[in-house]
Amino acid sequence: MKPKIFLLMFSFAFLLFLNSCGSKSEKSSDNMMLNMDMPTSSKTTSEEASDMAGGSEYQQKDKGVEQGSPQVETEKITQKIIKTADISFKVDKYNMARTEILAIIKKHNGYVAFENQTGDEYRTTNVMIIRVDAENFDALVDNLLKEAVFVDFKKVNSEDVTEEFVDINARLKSKKDAMLQYETILKKAFSINDILEVQQYIRTLQEEIESLEGRLKYLNNKVALSTINLTFYEQGNILPSQSEGFGYKLKKALSWGWQGLVTFFLAIIYLWPLWVVGLITFFVIRYFVKKARKKRAAKLVQQQQK
């Protein structure tokens, strides 16, 4: 009886052992299958998703660049031109011409920055410096020339300062960026030497920035407002006709006579060295003449005594 029980227990244990080995082999085979099915990459699913998303973005960007590259346009720079004109002409009637010229300037929204009128009995001349908007420059020049009887000269100059304008803007931006950096450094500086050194750099940059801004303002003003240097004149006698009468001639004769008398006395004064030499010569000659007369008189007296 006992041997049978022992055999049953042994067989049952052997079956359990075989069952466990079979389950282990199945699990190992399942794991091998799973490993074969999974990708060789060590990245997680989230990383793979992000890489896929990033890749798609890069592809989209590349496509966008490729599509937009032929359509890239350079930034347009407004051309900066300073216009100036030098004009000189003769007018028929000065007063009428000046009134008409001022009206033309006002019509074209310009103004007279400087005016100088000179004249004599033969000619009256007026020199004006006119400032006008650049868009009205050509029209104003053409209308001013309509008042001319004879044009002495007309010179128009257009100076392109676009390159200088762009250069100043770039330098100004660079210096302002450097200024911000130095101000940031100044906030973090602790030692007195560092603070003083940074402040010196800031002062230098500030002076350079103000200088560039001043130049930029000057260029903007010159570009916005063109300059016309105008000279116009009336040739001929501009005095009234009655000035040629007897009274005018008498006054002119008296004036010239007085001027002649003054000139005569001034000439005498200018020749004072000659007068001194002449007086000395006169007294020397007089002395020798008297001496000669005395000798002759003495000889005559001696002859009479003999």
110-124, 189-203, 288-302: range with lowest mean pLDDT: 288-302
Q: For the residues 185-207, what does the mean pLDDT come to?
A: 88
- What's the rounded Cα separation, in Å, for the pair 148 and 10? 139
Q: Is the pLDDT reported for residue 241 higher than 60?
A: no
* 170 and 144 in a common domain: no
pLDDT of amino acid 17:
53
d(CA 214, CA 190): 34
Q: Does residue 255 lie in a domain region?
A: yes
Do 143 and 85 share a structural domain?
yes
Six token digits for residue 207: 């002076």
Query: Is residue 62 in a domain?
Result: no
Order of all β-strands in the sheet with 81-90: 111-119, 123-133, 225-235, 81-90, 150-160
**298 domain residue, yes or no:** no
Give the residue numbers spanning the domain of 265.
Answer: 243-273
Extended beta strands in 57-168, E state = 81-90, 111-119, 123-133, 150-160
- Least confident residue range of 18-32, 159-173, 221-235, 250-264: 18-32
Q: Is the residue at 305 inside a domain?
A: no
Across 120-125, average pLDDT: 87
Per mean pLDDT, which range of 54-58, 248-252, 271-275 is the poorest? 54-58
Question: Do 119 and 136 sit in the same domain of this protein?
Answer: yes
We report the CATH number of the domain holding residue 141 as 3.30.70.260
The answer to whether residue 227 is domain-embedded is no
pTM, to two decimals: 0.49
Kindly state whether residues 108 and 168 are assigned to the same domain.
no
pLDDT in the model for residue 26: 43
Find out whether 124 and 265 touch, Cβ atoms under 8 Å. no
Burial class (CB in 10 A: 0-12, 13-18, 19+), 208: middle
- Residues 143 and 187 both lie in one domain: no
Q: For the residues 137-145, what does the mean pLDDT come to? A: 94
Phi-psi region of 109 (alpha: psi -120 to 50; beta: other; left: phi over 0): left
In a domain, 131, yes or no: yes
pLDDT at 9 over 80: no
Q: What b/e string do you get for 146-162 counting C-beta neighbours within 10 Å, with b at 16 or more?
A: ebbeeeeeeeeeeeebe
pLDDT, residue 31, reads: 44
Residues of the chain above pLDDT 90, percent: 38
Does a structural domain hold residue 13? no
What value does the mean pLDDT take over residues 121-137? 92
Task: State the pLDDT confidence band at 15, using cuts at 50, 70 and 90.
Answer: low
Phi-psi region of 116 (alpha: psi -120 to 50; beta: other; left: phi over 0): beta
Q: Is residue 301 part of a domain?
A: no
pLDDT digits (tens, 9 = 90+) for 257-272: 888 888 887 888 888 8
Number of domains in the chain: 3
